[in-house]
A and B are shown apart, each in its own frame.
Chain A
C-alpha cells in the first residue's frame, strides 16, 4: 500500500512539477559571506513567532547594516513553528528561529534541532538565558503582568495576584491567551512548579468557570481591555505599554509581589542545524544581540534587553524594582509536557 501511494504521489508530483515552471520560491544560489565587496551576501530564512509588525522594523535595521543579505521571514504560532521544525529535521528549510518562549527553545534543543554556537556575543549572555552550547540564546526579557482598563476599575479594587483572576468576583471580566500561547503555558509551568499541581489546576478551572475570554495571542487581549470589552487581561508587560502608547485608558499591575514574584520569560534566537548559511545565521544572531538590534526591541516594543547597557524605553521600570519568581526556566523544560496534560484535563481552550 505504502509504495503504491508513494508511486501515485510521485505521479501527481511529476504532473504538477511539469505545469509549474514559474514562481518558484526564492532559491539560494552561490551564497557566500564576504564577497569582493566585503559586505556579507546571501539569503536567510527566519521562522518567527513574533508579531510581523514588530519583527519587520528589526529586519529593516539588520538590512541597514547588511544590505546584501536577503531575509525571508515566515511567521507562525510558537508551537506550530516548533512542530514544523521537528517535521523538517531531515529536510531543514529554516536558518534561524526567533521565538518568544524559553521552554520551547530548550525542548527543541534537547531534540537536537539547533546547531551549537560559540560566538562571544552569545557566550556573554548569562547562562540561565542561553543553551550551554549556545544553541539558543535569549534576546529580551518580559515579565507576566495584569493590565486593566482604568475607566472600569478603581485602583483600590484591583487584583494583587494572578491567582485572583480565578476568583468568581471577576467572572466575565478577564481576557487571557489560550493553551497555544507559549508565554501562557510557561506561566502555568512556573505556577505548577512553585505552587503545585492542585493549585494550578484549580487556577485553570477557575479561569474557565469564570467565562474568561481566551485568545490565540495577547494583542487581541490588550485591544479588548483598551476598548472596554472586559476590564482585566493577563499579558506580557509590553502589551500594557503598547496600549498606553496608543492612548488607551489602561493601567498595569505587577502581580504577586507578596507571593511568588514576577514570572519572567524571554524571546530567543537559535540557529537551525542543517542551515544552508550557518555563517550568515550567526551574523544575524550576533546582530540581534548588538546594541542596534537590542535597541529596536527596547524602543519599539518596550522589552527588557538581555544585553546590559541598552537603555530601557521611557516609562519602563527596571526589573530590579520588583520581586522576581525564584525559578530558572531553563531547568524546567521537562515540566512542560505534564503541564500541558494538566491544562488539557482542566479544559483550558
Chain B
C-alpha cells in the first residue's frame, strides 16, 4: 500500500524546512567569487581540515571506548550500585561541553585554582619560589578530546547499554557452550550486535564535534566551526563563512552514509518468546576496580563542573564583588534567564519532536532508497554550526516574516529549524520500535491508517518519543549561536549569559548561569528517568 498523499507532503515540508539552511549556504557559497575560494584554500582550509579531522577521530575513539566499556560493565558485570550508575552515567549530557571547558579552565589555567592553591600551600611551607607544578595543558588536542569526550560519551553509552539490555542471552550462551572465552564471546557475538548502536552513537558524537563552537574556541583549538565564526564575525559579506560551511557539510556526508550502512548491516538476534535477559557475570576481583573507574568518570564529567561552578556561585552570592553587581549575579536576573531558556527550549523541542514524526514514519514504514536518502540528507544540517543556521534565519525572517523577527516567536522558529535534524534522527529510532505487524493487524481489523497510528503505534512509541524529546530539549537548553543571533534585545538565555561572561574572560561571572543550566537540564533527565523512559528510546530492533 503506498503512503498517503498527506504523509508524503508532510514529509517533504518538514524535510524541506530542515534543509533550508543548507540551501542558504549553498547559494551563498556558490555566489562567492573564485578569488575568495583560492584565498581560503591557501590561507585557511588546510590547517583547519587536519585539526578538525584529528579532533573528530580522537573524540569518537575516546567516547567509543568509554561508552562501550561503561555500558558493558553496567549491564554485564556485578558492578556495585548498577541501578544508580545506569542513570548517573547518562547525566553528563546535561553538562554543555563549553561549561565543562570553563570549569577546567578555572582549575587548570595558569594562575588558576590548582596553581594558586599550590603556590599558597608552598608559601605556607616556607617556599616562596616553588618549582612549577606540572599542570596538564588543556589548550591542546588532548585537552579538547577529553573535555568534550567526557560530556558526550553518553551518546554512545546510552544506545549501547540499551542494546546490551535488550539482547537475548541465547546467542552469547551458545557461543560460550561452543567454547569461546569471555573475550571471544564479546568480540564475535556481542560486539557485532552492538555495531549499529555504536555507529549511531559515534555519529552523534562526530556531529557534535563538527558543530561545536564554544568549547573549541575556549580551548583555543581551531576547527572549521571556529573559522566559520571568524569569517562570519569579521566580514559583513557572508560568502566566506558559507564557503567554509560547505566544506564542513562535505565532511559530514561520509559519516552519515557510513552510519546508515552500519545500521543496515547490524545483525539481528532471536527475540520474541525465546528472549531471556542476559546473564550478569560476577567478577569478584574486578568489581571494585570497575567501580572506581566509573566513579572517576562521573567525578570528572559531572562532579568537577558542579563543584567548581557551585562553589563560585555560592561565593558570588555570599560575598558579591563590584563585578558581580555589574553582571547582576545572584539577583532575579539569573532566574529570568533560566525561565527564558526553559520557555524557548520546551516549546521548540516539542514542536520539533512532533514535526519529526512525519519523515520518521515514512522512512520506517516505507523504506525505499529515496526516503533513506532524503532522511540522511535532512540529518546533515545537524553538523552545521548553529551560527550558520541562525544566520540563514536572520536573513529569511527579515525577508519573509519581518513581523516575527526580533521577537521570541522568531527565536523559537529558528530553534525548531536548528533542532529538526536531531529530532528526525532520534524520532526515527523511536518509531522503529513499534512493529509494523501490529499496525497492519489494526488495519485488518478495520482501523484507518490514522487511527491505527494513533491507537497502536503511538502508544508503543511514546517512551521512545519522550526520550527523543528529552535529547532535543537538552540540545535546545545548551544552544548558543542561534540565541546569540536571534534573541530579541533584553531576552537573554542562560547560554548567552555564560558566553557573554566567558568572552570577557570573567569566568567566575559565568558560573551562576552555568550552574543553573546544569541543574535545570539534569532535573529534566532525572524526571524522565523516574518515569522509566530514559533507555526506552534507545531500545533497538534486536528485541523486535
**Chain A residues with a Cβ under 8 A of chain B:** 4-6, 8-10, 12-13, 15-17, 19-20, 22-26, 45, 47, 51-53, 56-57, 72-80, 82-84, 86-88, 90-91, 93-94, 107, 178-181, 185, 213, 215-217, 219-220, 223-224, 226-229, 340-341, 344-349
Contact = CB atoms under 8 A, between A and B. Distances in A.
Given A15-B351, A16-B409, A20-B347, A9 B489 contact: no
B235 A51 contact: no
B282 interface: no
Nearest to B233: A180
Interface string B12-37: 01001100100000000000000110
B20 A223 contact: no
A275 to B, nearest CB: 13
A57 B326 contact: yes
B408 A25 contact: yes
B105 to A, nearest CB: 11
Contacts of B240: 344
A53 B323 contact: yes
A48 to B, nearest CB: 11
B406 A93 contact: yes
Nearest to B229: A180
Given A9-B396, A13-B404, A79-B236, A345 B490 contact: no
Interface string B218-229: 001010001101
6 nearest A-B residue pairs (beta carbon): A25-B488, A347-B43, A180-B233, A227-B111, A72-B490, A74-B489
A45 B323 CA distance: 23
Contacts of B323: 53
Contacts of B343: 20, 22-23
B110 interface: yes
B413 A9 contact: yes
B193 interface: no
Contacts of B222: 349
Contact of B506 (A4, A53, A76): A53
Contacts, number: 172
Contacts of A25: 406-408, 488-491
B394 interface: yes
B402 A90 contact: yes
Given A79-B235, A83-B236, 16 more contacts: A5-B17, A16-B416, A20-B409, A25-B488, A25-B491, A52-B504, A73-B489, A83-B232, A90-B398, A91-B398, A180-B229, A227-B111, A344-B44, A344-B240, A347-B43, A347-B47
Contacts of A345: 39, 42-43
Contacts of A45: 489-490
A180 B227 CA distance: 10
A5 B491 CA distance: 28
Contacts of B327: 52-53
A120 B284 CA distance: 85
A179 B233 CA distance: 8
A107 B236 contact: yes
A87 B394 contact: yes
A24 B488 CA distance: 9
B16 to A, nearest CB: 6
* Interface class of chain B by DSSP: helix
B7 interface: no
Contacts of A9: 17, 396, 400-401, 413
Interface in B144-160: none
A52 B39 CA distance: 35
A10 B489 contact: no
A42 to B, nearest CB: 14
B110 A228 contact: yes
A219 B236 contact: no
Contacts of B412: 16, 20
A291 to B, nearest CB: 22
A47 B503 CA distance: 17
Interface string B315-335: 000000001001100000000
B505 A220 contact: yes
Nearest to A92: B406
Contacts of B503: 216-217, 219
B405 interface: yes
A344 B491 contact: no
Given A9-B401, A17-B404, A178 B489 contact: no
16 contacts: A8-B13, A13-B409, A16-B409, A22-B343, A26-B490, A74-B487, A77-B233, A79-B232, A88-B398, A90-B402, A216-B503, A344-B36, A344-B44, A344-B231, A344-B240, A346-B43
A155 B261 CA distance: 64
Contacts of A228: 110-111
B505 A219 contact: yes
B339 interface: yes
Contact of A86 (B13, B236, B347, B408): B236
Interface in B185-231: 217, 220, 222, 226-227, 229-231
